[in-house]
Amino acid sequence: MKLDDDIHNYYEKLLLDHLVELRLDDEYDTEYLADLCCIVLNQLPPKYIRYEVDMAFYLPQTERFEMVMKVREAVTKAKGFLDTQRDKN
């Protein structure tokens, strides 16, 4: 078993979905996006899974909504932090 292939944090998927939704990859370079992802994921609790279908089937809709909202709040907070740091340089 290779852990990096078999297990991942579900918040990573939610984060990437949100970044695509915001089209941040059109606006920022990969260095900024990598920093943003690290800051966001460090604000969120891990939710490890093996298969996406498990989350789709077993996760209550209310819990998924809460997770999405946590991602959105964390992105806003992290983006504000990075933009402030960028303005200082």
**Tens of pLDDT, residues 16-46:** 999 999 999 999 999 999 999 999 999 999 9
Measured CA to CA in angstroms, residue 23 lies from 16, 20, 54 at distances of: 10, 5, 27
CA dihedral of residues 13, 37, 61, 9 (deg, nearest 10): 60
Say how many residues make up the chain.
89
Any residues with CB less than 8 A from the CB of 24 and at least 6 apart, and which? 33, 36
DSSP 51: -
Rounded to whole angstroms, the Cα distance separating 1 from 15 reads 26
pTM of this structure: 0.87
**Tens of pLDDT, residues 49-84:** 888 887 878 889 999 999 999 999 999 999 999 999
